[in-house]
Chain A
Amino acid sequence: MINKLRITILITLLFLIPIENVNAHVVSEKEWLNDPHDHGDAKIIYLKAYQFGYAVKAIQEDGEKRIFPDGKEPSIMEVEKGGKVVFRIISADVTHGFYIDGYTPDAVKDNKILIKPGEIIEVGPIFFDDPGKFKLRCSETCGPLHPFMVADLIVKPNTYFPVLLIITVVVSAMTLLYVSRAPKNKMLGIPLDRDIDLLKVRFIGPILKKFLQWRGVHFALIVPNLLIFMVVLTSGFFGNPTGNMNFSIVIIWILWLAAVEILILLGARTWCTLCPIPAFGEWLARRRFYGVHKIRKWTSIGKKWPNKLNNMWIPALFFLTMSLFVPWLVTRPVVTGIVFGFLFILALIIYLVFDPKRNFCRNICPANGYIGYHSNASILAVRSRNINTCNQHTPKECIRGSPKGYGCPWKLYPGGHKENTYCGQCYECLKSCPLDNMTLKLRMVGQDLARIGAKAKNRFDEAYTGFIRFTVAIFYELVFFGPYFWIKDWGNMGIIYGANLATIGLLSPTLEALNYWFKWALMVAGIALIGYPGLFYIFSWISKKLSGVNDIPTKQLFLSFSYALAPYGIFLWIAFAFSLLLVNWSYPISAISDPLGYGWNLFGTKFEWQPFSPEALPYIQTPLLLLGLAIAINATYNIAEQIFNNHRQAFRATFVMGVLHTMAGLVFAWVIAG
Chain B
Amino acid sequence: MSAEIQQVERRVSPKNDAIENICKALDKWYWAGKNGISRDVAIKPVRDVVEYVCEAKKKGLDKKSEVAYCGSILLYSVLSLTGRRVSSDVKEANELFKAGKDFASSIWDEIEVKGTDKRKCQEIADSISSRIFDVCRSN
Q: Spell out A's residues near B (CB within 8 Å).
A: 294-297, 389, 392-395, 397, 400-404, 433-436
* 102-138 of chain B: CB within 8 A of chain A: none
Are B79 and A400 in touch, CB under 8 angstroms? no
B129: min CB distance to chain A, Å: 18
B5 interfacial by beta-carbon distance below 8 Å: no
Are A436 and B66 in touch, CB under 8 angstroms? no
**Which residues of A lie under 8 Å from residue B55 when comparing CB positions?**
294-295
Are A433 and B61 in touch, CB under 8 angstroms? no
**Which residues of B lie under 8 Å from residue A294 when comparing CB positions?**
55
**Which residues of B lie under 8 Å from residue A295 when comparing CB positions?**
52, 55-56, 59, 61
Q: How far, in angstroms, from A404 to B94 measured CA to CA in the complex?
A: 17
* 85-115 of chain B: CB within 8 A of chain A: 85-88, 90, 93-94, 97-98, 101
A443: min CB distance to chain B, Å: 24
- Flag the segment in B14-22, B25-33, B35-43, B69-77 that touches A: B69-77
**Which residues of A lie under 8 Å from residue B2 when comparing CB positions?**
none
Are A435 and B59 in touch, CB under 8 angstroms? no
Q: How far, in angstroms, from A294 to B76 measured CA to CA in the complex?
A: 13
B65 interfacial by beta-carbon distance below 8 Å: yes
Are B68 and A296 in touch, CB under 8 angstroms? no
Q: How far, in angstroms, from A404 to B72 measured CA to CA in the complex?
A: 10
Are A402 and B72 in touch, CB under 8 angstroms? yes
Are B76 and A403 in touch, CB under 8 angstroms? yes
Q: Spell out B's residues near A (CB within 8 Å).
A: 52, 55-56, 59, 61, 65-66, 68-69, 71-73, 75-76, 79, 85-88, 90, 93-94, 97-98, 101
Interface centre among A295, A395, A401, A435, by most B CB within 10 Å? Answer: A395
Q: Which of A389, A395, A404, A436 contacts B71 (CB 8 A)?
A: A395
Are A395 and B93 in touch, CB under 8 angstroms? yes
Known interface pairs A295-B55, A389-B90, A395-B94; A434-B75 also in contact (CB < 8 Å): yes
**Which residues of B lie under 8 Å from residue A296 when comparing CB positions?**
56, 61, 65-66, 69
**Which residues of B lie under 8 Å from residue A401 when comparing CB positions?**
69, 72
B113: min CB distance to chain A, Å: 13
Are B87 and A435 in touch, CB under 8 angstroms? yes
Known interface pairs A295-B52, A434-B72, A435-B90; A395-B61 also in contact (CB < 8 Å): no
Known interface pairs A297-B61, A393-B93, A403-B72; A435-B86 also in contact (CB < 8 Å): yes
Are A395 and B68 in touch, CB under 8 angstroms? yes
Q: How far, in angstroms, from A432 to B127 measured CA to CA in the complex?
A: 30
Q: How far, in angstroms, from A296 to B64 measured CA to CA in the complex?
A: 13
Are A394 and B76 in touch, CB under 8 angstroms? no
Q: Report the nearest A residue to B93, measured CB to CB.
A: A434
Are B69 and A400 in touch, CB under 8 angstroms? yes
**Which residues of A lie under 8 Å from residue B52 when comparing CB positions?**
295
Residue pairs across A and B with Cβ atoms less than 8 A apart, 28 shown, are A295-B52, A295-B55, A295-B56, A295-B59, A296-B56, A296-B61, A389-B90, A392-B90, A395-B71, A395-B98, A395-B101, A397-B72, A400-B65, A401-B69, A402-B72, A402-B75, A403-B73, A403-B76, A404-B76, A433-B86, A434-B79, A434-B87, A434-B93, A435-B86, A435-B88, A436-B85, A436-B86, A436-B88
Q: How far, in angstroms, from A389 to B93 measured CA to CA in the complex?
A: 11
**Which residues of A lie under 8 Å from residue B86 when comparing CB positions?**
433-436
Are B72 and A393 in touch, CB under 8 angstroms? no
Q: How far, in angstroms, from A434 to B86 measured CA to CA in the complex?
A: 5
Known interface pairs A400-B65, A435-B86; A395-B56 also in contact (CB < 8 Å): no
Q: Report the nearest B residue to A389, measured CB to CB.
A: B90
Q: How far, in angstroms, from A297 to B56 measured CA to CA in the complex?
A: 8
**Which residues of B lie under 8 Å from residue A397 when comparing CB positions?**
72
Q: How far, in angstroms, from A351 to B46 measured CA to CA in the complex?
A: 34
Interface centre among B68, B76, B90, by most A CB within 10 Å? Answer: B90
**Which residues of A lie under 8 Å from residue B59 when comparing CB positions?**
295, 297
Are B94 and A393 in touch, CB under 8 angstroms? yes
- Told that A295-B52, A395-B75, A395-B101 touch, could you supply 14 new A-B pairs with CB distance under 8 A? A295-B56, A295-B61, A296-B56, A297-B61, A392-B90, A395-B72, A397-B72, A402-B72, A403-B76, A434-B72, A434-B75, A435-B87, A435-B93, A436-B86
